Amino acid sequence: MSVVGIDVGFQNCYIAVARSGGIETIANEYSDRCTPACVSLASKNRMIGNAAKSQIITNFKNTVHGFKKFHGRAFDDPFVQAEKPKLPYSLHKLANGNTGIKVRYLDEDKAFTVEQITGMLLTKLKETSESALKKPVVDCVISVPSFFTDAERRSVFDATQIAGLNCLRLINDTTAVALAYGIYKQDLPTPEERPRNVVFVDMGHSSFQVSITAFNKGKLKVLATAFDLYLGGRNFDETLVDYFCEEFKGKYKLNVRDNPRALLRLHQECEKLKKLMSANSSDLPLNIECFMNDIDVSSRMNRMQFEDMCAQYLMRVEMPLKAALEQSKLSRDDIYGVEIVGGATRMPAIKERIAKFFGKDISTTLNADEAVARGCALQVGVFFYLICFPVYYTNSLKFMICNVVNVFSLSCEVFSKNHAAPFSKVITFHKKEPFDLEAFYSCPQELPYPDHRIGRFSVHNVVPQPDGDSSKVKVKVRVNVHGIFSVSSASLIEKQKGEGEDMQIDSEPLVQNEGRAEEQEGASGEKQDPAAGGSKPKVKVKSIDLPIVANNIRQLDSDVLSNFVEYERQMIIQDKLVKELNDAKNAVEEYVYDLRDKLCGMYEKYVTEEDSNRLTLMLEDTENWLYEDGEDQPKQVYEEKLEGLKRLGQPIQDRHREHEDRPRAFEELGKKL
């Protein structure tokens, strides 16, 4: 079974897979490697990706895009509240306080969770992978921004489950990019040499991420991660939109903001204009026909003017670069290269600022759009490569162990910033009764999130020692491969001193244990202190597993999740039925056009004029029927209609074929004779 790597972008998604020839990016049914992060709900079905993007204007209230940052966020979150008025679709406060997305689907009002919407998108990406690879796809590696918190990661993880995917790993965008870079570099320093320090800069549609990674052969260490959560390509689009809205107000007396369709069109045109300005510094036109109230609008813009307008955003480029450099404790001279990815780094003004800050030319070794997806595919592909290409890929084997990096440090320095994951730590407490642990991020000021709490974990069944003393409680905390935090186990260490009759109290057999208590996962057991024995009083240590109850974790309840899984399955079936119906209807239409063409062309000689006229009339009737009574019929009706037409068309086609085949048959016969 293949494992795919998926970059779920705010605007654009990419899929890559490790195959025998290397890493490949998968194209969708439009031969497009990019699938827009867009979902459109309609009265009979859903459209996802490219098909949904074409509905952005026509079905604006029910076409959802720009939802990635709603993961793990409450409806009252300041970010959600700030986005709300800008969205063409409605947001809704769900019963649990989370952000719901309100649309009309199957002629009913529905509030979907962001996990469901991302689940829909992932369903599409799964289907695209399956049709490209011609086999089922379940296992995947998915990228998330390095700054995604526990709640956001849990939410994305739930979305993968809704789509029926098995997410092997959530990996940070910046880690994926570093992998994509490192795997092909054959000239990395050996482990004994000084590492090669590379800066990776990714500016997408919604955010800006920077990381500094040290490479040696087969080893990768993330030295620093920094970001601007809210700086991305869309800020530049919005600047243009604001400008033209103002201009059209004066010039054409149009209130564009009152008209969602016009506003969305302006958005699309401004994004196109922005891209054109990246390649062209001259004056460029903006023309939109029938923009609003039947008015055509036009204007002009050039790169210099645009950059002036965007000064406030361009200014922000430097901050994360500086923060990353400081965090890495490197000087500019220690930097080997600066690699850029992400669509928005194509803007010359952004490139210039990055180059200027590091005093270096920037390199574009990586495919700016596909690097993240390719890195995701690599994360699982390394092992595969080792088998297929032992020589070429051996160097990169150790990339497997540098996984998720935690960009926020957890409280009491349990996990430091940029610590690789998975990682566990055991903390010892001395307690006489059950207690709660609160996990939170220790630097709230750098958190993308108003709430720095991760969750509360209650450790139950804690009792004092028989002599009334506090018990030693060992708690294991863990950040798993996805960068998700948990208190994975807790155990109470019961010390039993004594000799002679004391020993009798404990009649259970002693279990010799090689590991230390903190390394023992799951099972409870007894162990004997290795130092004990001989004539000294024996000290036995008994470790008792304690139940842990997690509270306030922002993740879907398991029964809610399974309902969503089931609902997604139903929607997939519904979409399939609608597709089959449409296919049946299209088949009738195609047959009508095809036969009509041929009747006055290649079939002309094989049909009497009378029959031809009758058939032509019938085809015309069918065509009219398709637009009237036949617009909305069950699949079977279209199938019967097609059969009826074929009954008349087939004999003509047969006569034609027979005639075509005859000379060939004679030829064959001639050869035999």
Count CB atoms within 10 A of the CB of residue 356.
12
Any idea of the CA torsion for 52, 56, 60, 63, to the nearest 10 degrees?
30
Of the candidates 219, 139, 234, the one whose C-alpha atom is nearest the C-alpha of residue 179 is: 219
Token pair for 604: 């002309």
Q: Quick one: which of 271, 526, 568, 575 contacts ligand ATP (CB under 6 A)?
A: 271
Taking the complex as a whole, how short is the minimal distance between the CB of residue 53 and K ion, in angstroms? 14
Taking the complex as a whole, how short is the minimal distance between the CB of residue 15 and K ion, in angstroms? 11
Could you give the string, one character per residue 582-611, with x where binding to ligand ATP holds by CB under 6 A and - elsewhere?
Answer: ------------------------------
Comparison of 11 and 113: residue with beta carbon closer to Mg ion: 11
Does 342 bind ligand ATP (CB under 6 A)? Our answer is yes
Q: Quick one: which of 88, 182, 204, 448 contacts Mg ion (CB under 5 A)?
A: 204
Comparison of 324 and 382: residue with beta carbon closer to ligand ATP: 324
Comparison of 209 and 491: residue with beta carbon closer to K ion: 209
Does 278 bind ligand ATP (CB under 6 A)? Our answer is yes
Pairs from 74-81 (Cβ < 8 Å, separation ≥ 24): 74/98, 74/99, 74/451, 75/99, 75/100, 77/449, 77/450, 78/450, 79/230, 79/448
3-state helix, strand, coil in the chain (%, to 5): 45, 25, 30
Comparison of 10 and 244: residue with beta carbon closer to ligand ATP: 10
Binding partner at 232 among Mg ion, K ion, ligand ATP, none, C-beta below 5 to 8 Å by kind: ligand ATP
Part of the chain binding Mg ion (CB under 5 A), chosen from 49-57, 64-72, 197-205, 617-625: 197-205
Token pair for 304: 């210099």
Does 472 bind ligand ATP (CB under 6 A)? Our answer is no
Any idea of the CA torsion for 54, 57, 63, 65, to the nearest 10 degrees?
80
Strand-pairing partners, residue 201, are: 210, 340
For tokens 């094989």, name the residue: 606
Single-letter amino acid, residue 260: P
Q: Quick one: which of 2, 5, 9, 182 contacts K ion (CB under 5 A)?
A: 9
Strand-pairing partners, residue 103, are: 110
Part of the chain binding ligand ATP (CB under 6 A), chosen from 231-239, 471-479, 494-502, 639-647: 231-239
Does 219 bind ligand ATP (CB under 6 A)? Our answer is no
Does 218 bind K ion (CB under 5 A)? Our answer is no
Q: Where are the beta strands (DSSP E) in 312-385?
A: 335-341
Listed in sequence order, the DSSP H helices in 98-188 are 114-133, 150-162, 173-182
Q: Which residue lies nearest ligand ATP, judged by its C-beta?
A: 233
Part of the chain binding K ion (CB under 5 A), chosen from 7-15, 319-327, 465-473, 629-637: 7-15
Does 204 bind ligand ATP (CB under 6 A)? Our answer is yes
Question: How many residues interact with ligand ATP (rule CB under 6 A)?
Answer: 22
Does 145 bind Mg ion (CB under 5 A)? Our answer is no
Single-letter amino acid, residue 668: E
Does 211 bind ligand ATP (CB under 6 A)? Our answer is no
Comparison of 327 and 365: residue with beta carbon closer to K ion: 365
Cα separation, 370 vs 133, whole angstroms = 18
Cα separation, 421 vs 481, whole angstroms = 6
Taking the complex as a whole, how short is the minimal distance between the CB of residue 204 and Mg ion, in angstroms? 3
Part of the chain binding Mg ion (CB under 5 A), chosen from 2-10, 107-115, 523-531, 645-653: 2-10
Question: How many residues interact with K ion (rule CB under 5 A)?
Answer: 3
The torsion angles phi and psi of 443, rounded to 5 degrees, stand at -120, 75
Taking the complex as a whole, how short is the minimal distance between the CB of residue 350 and ligand ATP, in angstroms? 8
Cα separation, 533 vs 283, whole angstroms = 89
Per-residue DSSP letter, 552: S
Instruction: Report helix, strand or coil for 650.
Output: helix
Cα separation, 131 vs 30, whole angstroms = 12
Q: Quick one: which of 154, 169, 196, 205 contacts ligand ATP (CB under 6 A)?
A: 205
Comparison of 129 and 396: residue with beta carbon closer to K ion: 129
Distances (CA, A) of 373 to 38, 49, 87, 172, 234: 18, 17, 28, 11, 21
Does 51 bind ligand ATP (CB under 6 A)? Our answer is no
Binding partner at 344 among K ion, Mg ion, ligand ATP, none, C-beta below 5 to 8 Å by kind: ligand ATP
Taking the complex as a whole, how short is the minimal distance between the CB of residue 184 and K ion, in angstroms? 20
Half-sphere exposure of 523 (CA within 13 A, CB side): 7
Does 344 bind ligand ATP (CB under 6 A)? Our answer is yes
Cα separation, 94 vs 434, whole angstroms = 33
Q: How many residues does the chain have?
A: 673
Does 71 bind ligand ATP (CB under 6 A)? Our answer is no
Cα separation, 43 vs 66, whole angstroms = 22
Strand pairing of 453-459 and 548-551?
antiparallel
Does 9 bind ligand ATP (CB under 6 A)? Our answer is yes
Binding partner at 275 among K ion, ligand ATP, Mg ion, none, C-beta below 5 to 8 Å by kind: ligand ATP
Pairs from 582-585 (Cβ < 8 Å, separation ≥ 24): 584/635, 584/638, 584/639, 584/642, 585/626, 585/630, 585/633, 585/638
Instruction: Please report the sign of the dihedral spanned by the C-alpha atoms of residue 456, residue 457, residue 461, residue 465.
Output: negative
Strand pairing of 38-41 and 46-48?
antiparallel
Cα separation, 603 vs 626, whole angstroms = 24
Does 343 bind Mg ion (CB under 5 A)? Our answer is no
Does 227 bind ligand ATP (CB under 6 A)? Our answer is no
Does 116 bind ligand ATP (CB under 6 A)? Our answer is no
Q: Which residue lies nearest Mg ion, judged by its C-beta?
A: 204
Binding partner at 649 among Mg ion, ligand ATP, K ion, none, C-beta below 5 to 8 Å by kind: none
Does 129 bind K ion (CB under 5 A)? Our answer is no
- Sequence-distant (6+) residues with CB within 8 A of 334 are 197
For the CA atoms of the chain, what is the radius of gyration?
Answer: 32
Does 5 bind Mg ion (CB under 5 A)? Our answer is no
Binding partner at 635 among Mg ion, ligand ATP, K ion, none, C-beta below 5 to 8 Å by kind: none
Could you give the string, one character per residue 345-374, with x where binding to ligand ATP holds by CB under 6 A and - elsewhere?
Answer: -xx---------------------x-----
Q: Quick one: which of 2, 12, 379, 471 contacts K ion (CB under 5 A)?
A: 12
Q: Quick one: which of 2, 4, 6, 9 contacts Mg ion (CB under 5 A)?
A: 9
> Can you give the binding site for K ion, defined by CB under 5 A?
7, 9, 12
Residues of the shown chain interacting with ligand ATP in the complex, contacts defined by CB under 6 A: 9-12, 68, 204-207, 232-234, 271, 274-275, 278, 342-344, 346-347, 369
Residues found near Mg ion in the complex (CB under 5 A): 9, 204
